[in-house]
Structure 1
Amino acid sequence: MRAPFGKTFPIMMKLVKTLLVILAAAAVIGFFYFLTLMSPGKSVKAPSEYIDPSVESSQLLKESEELEAEFEKSASVGIVSAAEVDKLRKAIRLQEIYIEKARATSSDRAPMNRLTRLRARLHNVEAEPLSRLVADFEKNARTAEESGDSDAADRFYRQAYDIQDKINRNYWLSDFKSVTKVVEIDKAIKNLQVRPMYEESLAAEKRAKEAVSKSDWKAAVAEYEKAVQISRDISLKFPTSGYNDYMRIQRMRGELDSLKSSDLKVEIEKLLGEAGELQKKGEFAAASDKYAMAAVRQKDINELFPRSIHASEEKLSEYSNLSTEAKSRIYAAEISALDKEFTEAVRASDISKASDLSANLVARVEQFRKDFPRNSDITSEDLIRVRYLNFTIRHIAEIQKLVKSDLLAVGSGGKKMLKTEVTQKLYSLVMQENPSRNQSSEDNPVESATYQEAMTFCQRLGWILGMRVSLPAESEFVEAVGNLRYADIDAISWNASNSGGSIHPVAAKKANDKGFFDLLGNVGEFVLGEEEGGATVLGGSSQTSADAISSLPRAKADANQRNRMTGFRITVSE
């Protein structure tokens, strides 16, 4: 609904008055601007005819100083008329003649310094009103700019630029010379020219965001491209303007690349989902192909749309690795099947079949670990195991016979324990070394092995038997010892009273009532578990007294220490 004329009339009158004031000011300033541009380009020197060349130098200097003093006196009370300025010009001319006369007889710099100071004073006097004009034009330009009159603002800024440029060229000694001011005004002019372009770029970006919110990707791409192109034009044509925003251009390019690559990203997500489902079904070859296609699409994004939020070298590497891993699962499954067949042959003591499979299995595991180091289906421990079994293949049957014939049940759950301590013969066959100090008989218990070496022995023997092998738990050892109340300690153990202080072959003494040999005496035995770096040793040794042995000695030993009175035995379970 239109406002009544009575209400709008005062507003219109106010606007008219404002425009009249601006026009009047512009007319006055324009007049001075015209005079300024028409004024001489250089300061006018006083004619030399009125200076008597025969006057002595001292008189010239004195007269110059008097003229300067008269000028400064008038200037101090605000009188700077043309006549007063002529006095300053004459003072300068007298100083110049004085210097020319004195140059041949003196090298004093003081006269020249005074001349420079006088010239600077003249430049300041002549440039000051021009500087005020510059300030007025700038003020009018800003007023016109605020009122939306870009043409008037441009005109005022250009007038200010011309005058300031004249000051810089003609009054270079004045305090009003300012290269910075010229640059600032030039920037303001360029900002006026570029502002409509910048505003159109902002509007295009806004429309692009609105299109994104509506999922109108085609429109969003078109508007972002328009916004980017306008911003690039600003950057190329007006590099010094305040609207040259490099970071904004890069951000919009990123948004644009992200939009353009969104279809590829959707395709990648679909491929990844399909690959995952195929893997669940065990279709690793097809899954590998899907991951490979996802890697190709990711590479397309990285190369075609490098600023996209979807661009990622890490993702490309990830999808490539997933493809390789899926492919490796095919070979891993084949190797696992071969390994299972080999393990069953070893466990069944079918050494002929195990030998036939062994070399092929080792070669395939080695190649797999080389080709697929990131795959965890076939580990480095698997490689160590098959290499070890391949190396030990000729002794497997002998080792199995030594162990299986000497196992007795202990505890519940089907676990069995070796009737004797591990002999040096068995240890040497499994470990290919013998750490024992007393090697007088291969049937002596192995001694001087560390706790960790005993654990390694258990691991390797487990590979050979195809079963779980471990040191006995303390409770299992105690159960195997049984009740010692009525036991004949000397009959079932080598101790300090009957051993001569040395170890003896295993099973040389009588078995206890449960069929186990040397649980007491001969060598102390490691049991399972470490506490604060120490291992537990049970049963005493050939150097332990019979009385102490009858109480089932328990001691702590350094897990890394070798002791010629410490050995071990093993337990076996499925």
Structure 2
Amino acid sequence: MAIFKKSSRKLLFREKSGVKKFFKGLLLLVIALCVLGGFWVLSQLGPKDVDFRNLDFNVEPSDSIKAIQQESIELEAQFEEVLVLREPLLEDINLLKKALDKQEEYLAATTAVDSEGYNRQMNLEERYQNLAAASLRAASLDLESKAEALASSRDYENATAKYREAYEQQKQINETFPLSLSYNVGRATRLQRQVLYFTAEPLLQRSLAFENEASLLIEAKEWGQAEESLQMAIDLQDKLNREYRGTNQASVSRLEGLRVKLVGIRSGQSYVEVQRVAELADERFALSENLEAAALYQEAARLQLQLNEAYRDSPYASSQRVAEYQRKSQTSESFELGLEIERKHDFMQELLSERRTFEAAEVIASLRRDVRQMQEAFPRSSLNDDDLQLKIRYLNLVQSDLGFIQDRIYGALLPIPEIEGWRMLRTEVPQVLYTLIMGTNPSRNKGDVCPVDSISWTDAKDFCERLSWILGQPVRLPTENEFREALGRLRYVVLEDHVWSVADADGVPQAVGTKEPFASGFYDLLGNTSEWLESIDRFEAEGARHIGGHALDSRNSLFTVPLREAPRGERNRLTGFRIVVKI
């Protein structure tokens, strides 16, 4: 019983579900039919196909319509008769306008396609617009000519009015008669620009006049009036830039320049005060009132710094001027110390030249303290001398060896035949001496008593400078004439006794002074290493010469006293040097 009831309820549910599906399908079918019917109705309401074969293009217009066109033709004929007799007047041009109106009326009334009628209408339209616009164009050209004459005489106001009238007439032509030959958009634009130009030009001239007036007032130091005049010039230029863009008178750069100039005027009074204080400081310095001058220079620097901060865009703002006044202040304040350093330096030179090295060492130590004080207390002073600082530092380092070095140098000098006031080192500079003076040895053929090699001309000159500091006397390289005088004649000289050449030097420089000296007492003038010469007759960009040949030259070559040239910075293992000292 329970099983039968359960199966009965399932069967009823399936029957209801099938009916529902049937009605859904029927509804969809009805909707589809409605949509198709709607499309069919719309197609019937739309445009129909036209059969052009059944159209009649030769519909004959009625007599009344033909009468309209005939009237138009007669009016045109009347106009042609006038043209035969004279130039057309305004009432004559009106005949052509009536003919045009009648032709338009005819075309509006006819239902036929009349291409000739349309062409006639276009011809009448162009003809009428050309004639109607001709008088306006002539008047516009005449106005433009008058405007140009007025502009040439600088009557800008009346010139502007004439240009504006010419522009209005050309504008009327362009708007009313676009088919005429007088139609010209470019001319209208040009006239409009001329109107703007001559409207703006008086403003620019006024601005320039105010600027010139301000410049004169600046020279007279009338700062208040100058500021007012320049402000007027700025206002006018600003108006030109805002209202007359695109004209020649508009200029952003000029406006910015005027504003900078205005800042300059506002800062001018401060600048005048700076100049006054600086000039007063110069006067005090000239009178040797150094401390007062230093205080005034410092005040000028302070005032200039205030000006820089308050008016950054001013032409009077200058950080360089601040530095200059600070430099002058420290120079004035350190002037006495600078004189003391100069006096001690001269005394040191005197002691060294007299070979009083112990006393010189004490002066060097004192100088070292003074130079350091100058550098630390007055770093901006013009009396700071970098070359002097280097010299004193060097002498301070070698002060304990001053006597030893002087004795060694003076003991090795010989007079040069026929040369007065100078003596030359009897040997090439050995490596031990070069190392003692320079603190380094660049030679590739090492040996304390061998000549220093791999030395450039510049290196040799640096050695001479340092040795001159120690001796207190000028030291330099020998000239070619001094070298040849020291060498003397070679006619009866047996070179193998005096020179190191390729025959016996094994390709490297040998110890100095180991061969026989020449007649003048000098060793190794030929062979061993070629020696740099002083370049007193040559430009700095040119190379330098070295003389005497080297250990790779043959004796025959050395007999000719080889003279070679090389860049001043070149370092060669067969090139050395010797020195001459003023006595």
Which of 409, 422, 428 is residue 421 of structure 1 equivalent to? 428
Q: How does 1:235-384 map to 2 (within 5 A)?
A: 235=240, 239=244, 267=273, 269-280=275-286, 281=288, 285-286=294-295, 288-289=297-298, 292=301, 295-296=304-305, 299=308, 311=315, 316-327=318-329, 329=331, 344=348, 348=357, 377-379=384-386
Q: 1:570 to 1:65 in 2, by over 3 A?
A: farther
Partner deviation per Cα, 1:166-217 (whole Å, 9 max, x = no partner)? 666555555566778888998999999999x879959986995998799695
Give 1:526's aligned residue. Answer: 531
Give CA deviations for 1:456-490 in whole Å, capped at 9, x if unaligned. Answer: 33233334545432223344445555788998988
Q: Does 1:570 align with 2:579?
A: yes
Alpha-carbon distance, 1:556 to partner: 0.3
Whether 2:86 is the aligned partner of 1:74: answer: no
Change (3 A) 1:435 1:71: same
Q: 1:63 to 1:378 in 2, by over 3 A?
A: farther
> What does residue range 478-517 of structure 1 map to in structure 2 within 5 Å?
480=486, 493-494=498-499, 504-508=510-514, 516-517=521-522
**Is this contact kept in 1: 2:174–2:185, CA < 8 A?**
yes
Aligned to 1:456: 462
Q: Counterpart of 1:429 in 2: which secondary structure?
A: helix
Q: Quick one: distance in 2 between partners of 1:564 and 1:139? A: 90
Which of 531, 537, 547 is the equivalent residue of 2:547? 537
Gaps in structure 1 of 5+ consecutive residues: 1-53
Kept in 2: contact 1:499–1:542 (CA 8 A): no
Q: How many pairs align? A: 496
Call closer, same or farther: CA 1:464–1:91 in 2, change over 3 Å: same
The CA distance in 1 between the partners of 2:159 and 2:463, in whole Å, is 94
Q: Which has the larger radius of gyration?
A: 2
Structure 2 vs 1, CA of residues 259 and 553 (structure 1 numbering), >3 Å: closer, same or farther?
A: same
Please, which of 56, 71, 85 is the counterpart of residue 97 of structure 2? 85
TM-score (norm 2): 0.57
Q: Mean alpha-carbon deviation: is it higher for 83-92 or for 214-223? A: 214-223
Query: Aligned AA for 2:322?
Result: S
Cα displacement (A) at 1:141: 11
Return closer, same or farther for 1:182/1:328 CA change in 2, 3 Å cut-off.
Answer: same
Q: Is the 8 A contact 2:505 2:551 kept in 1?
A: no
How many percent identity over aligned positions?
A: 22
Pair 489,324 (structure 1): closer, same or farther in 2 beyond 3 Å: same
Q: Out of 559, 565, 575, which is 1:558 matched to?
A: 565
CA distance in 2, matches of 1:454, 1:486: 33
Q: SS in structure 2 opposite 1:529?
A: coil
Deviations 1:370-403 (CA, angstroms, capped at 9, x unpaired): x76x969534x56765676677788777655543
Q: TM-score, normalised by structure 1?
A: 0.57
Distance 1:235 1:392 in 2: 75
Corresponding position of 1:446:
452
CA contact (8 A) 2:136 2:169 kept: yes
Q: Which runs of 5+ in 2 are unaligned?
A: 1-55
| Structure 2 Cα separation of the partners of residues 292 and 418 of structure 1 | 54
Relative distance call for 1:182 and 1:396 in structure 2 (3 A) is same
- 1:35 aligns with none
Query: Aligned to 2:533, what secondary structure does the other structure show?
Result: strand
Whether the 8 Å contact between 1:522 and 1:541 is mirrored in structure 2 is yes
Separation (CA, whole Å) in 2 of partners of 1:58 and 1:363: 123
Inter-partner Cα distance in structure 2 for 1:292 and 1:444: 59
Secondary structure of 2:100's counterpart equals helix
Letter in 2 for 1:418: L
For the Cα contact (< 8 Å) 2:500–2:510, is it kept in 1? no
Amino acid at match of 1:94: Y
Letter in 2 for 1:506: V
Q: Report if the CA contact (8 A) 2:434-2:440 is conserved.
A: yes
For residues 398-456 of structure 1, what are the alpha-carbon distances to aligned partners after superposition, in whole Å with 9 as ceiling and x for unaligned?
A: 655543443445577754433433112222333444454543x4222334534443333
1:470 aligned partner: 476
Deviation at 1:91, TM superposition (A): 0.8
CA–CA distance in structure 2, aligned partners of residues 90 and 71 of structure 1: 9
Residues 71 and 88, structure 1, Cα contact 8 Å, conserved in 2: no
Q: Work out the CA distance in 1 between the residues paired with 2:162 and 2:94.
A: 28
